[in-house]
Amino acid sequence: MQEGSIYDLISQARDSIVGQMRITPRIGLILGSGLGALADDLEDAQVIPYTTIPGFHAPKVPGHRGELAIGHLSGQPVAVLRGRFHFYEGYSMQEVAFPVRVLQAIGCTTLIITNAAGGLRPEWHVGDIMRIRDQIFLPGLAGHHPLRGPNDDRLGPRFPAMVGAFENDLVPIAHTVAASQGIPLREGVYCMLSGPAFESAAELRMLQGWGADAVGMSTAPEVVVAVHAGMQVLGFSLITNLALPDGAPANHAEVLAAGEAAKPRFSALIRGILAHL
C-alpha cells in the first residue's frame, strides 16, 4: 500500500461495496480466530469475498473465512468482517487496519472487535471472555504503526488520543447483558505482539510485569485506526489458552477448539449487546 493512496483506495473499496449494499450498516464487527460463525446468523445477508474488494486480501490463517457479510443481527444493521489480516503475514500495519477504514466509509460509527488471546492470569480459565479495558500496542511503540507517515486530515487528526479508547456508553451495556446471561465478563489489558511465534517464558513474565492480562497478535492497530476515524470501540478477547511462564506451550489447534466451544456463549453476548443498542 503506497503512501498517499490510502484515501483513494478507501474510496474504491467503499464504492465497490456500496454498489452491492441493500442496507447501510451502523455497526462493524471484526471476528477473530474460530469466531466467524456469528455472521451465519445475519438476516438477509449479503456476502462479499475479500478478494473482490480493492485493498483487501485473502486471509492465510485457519479459522478466518475472508468475507464481508452485511445484514441485520439482533435488529441492527451490521457489517461483519469474517477474518482479518495479520502483521506477521507480511502486511504493513496500514494494510492490517485498512478494513476498519472501509467499515467507517460505508457507514459504521461503532466497532465491536474480537480476538482469540492467551490469558496471562493463572486464576483465569480457557473459555473466559475478557472485555478489553486498555491495550499495549508493542509493535506500534517500536515504530510499526498504522498512522506512520503523512496524515490525511480527511481520515482523522494527526495525533489521536488513545487514553479512554475503550471507555464509552457500550461498556455498561456489555456488563448488563453479560450478567443477565450468567456470563462472567472479565476485564483487562490486551497486549499485542507481532508473532507469529508464541511467547517465550521470559517474555510472558515481562508482559505480566507490565500489567497485561491477555496477549495476542492482532486488534491493536485496528483499534488505533478506529479511534483515529472517530468510531467508538468495544473489544473482547476470548481466552483460548493460558499463556503462563510455567504452563504448557500454546498451539493454534487449541485456539480454534476453544473458539468452537465458546461459540454459543460468545454469540449470545454479542447478540444481546446489539439488541440493546
Nearest to 141 by CA among 220, 213, 77: 220
- The question of whether 1 is a catalytic residue gets the answer no
Residue 241 annotated among the catalytic residues of the structure: yes
252 is catalytic: yes
Contact 71, 45 (CB under 8 A): yes
Cα 65 to Cα 33, 162, 251, 276, distances in angstroms: 9, 30, 20, 28
Closest CA to 81 of 194, 16, 97: 97
Q: Is 88 a catalytic residue?
A: yes
33 counts as catalytic: yes
The residue from 50, 214, 218, 222 that is catalytic is 218
Annotated catalytic residue, options 93, 228, 231, 241: 241
Nearest to 231 by CA among 58, 64, 106: 106
Is 258 annotated in the active site?
A: no
- Can 64 be counted among the known catalytic residues? yes
Q: Which grid coordinates are listed for 67?
A: 468475507
Catalytic residue from among 37, 89, 162, 250: 89
Q: Which of 151, 252, 260, 261 is catalytic?
A: 252
Active-site annotation holder among 86, 93, 178, 212: 86
SS3 annotation, 206-246: HHHHHCCCEEECCCHHHHHHHHHCCCEEEEEEEEEEECCCC
User: Which residue ranges are tagged as binding site for a purine D-ribonucleoside?
Assistant: 199, 241
Nearest CA to 128 out of 249, 260, 220, 262 is that of 262
The binding site consists of: 33, 64, 84-86, 116, 199, 218, 241
φ, ψ of residue 186 in degrees (nearest 5): -70, 165
Give the active site residue among 178, 217, 226, 231.
217
Query: Residues within the annotated binding site for phosphate?
Result: 33, 64, 84-86, 116, 218
In the beta sheet, which residues pair with residue 19? none
**CA 244 – CA 184 distance, rounded (Å):** 21
Which of 13, 39, 64, 178 is labelled catalytic?
64
The answer to whether 72 is a known catalytic residue is no
Q: 208: which 3 cell numbers?
A: 505480566
Q: Give 72's DSSP letter.
A: E
Per annotation, catalytic residue among 21, 88, 92, 261? 88
Give the residue numbers marked as catalytic. 33, 64, 86, 88-89, 116, 217-218, 241, 252
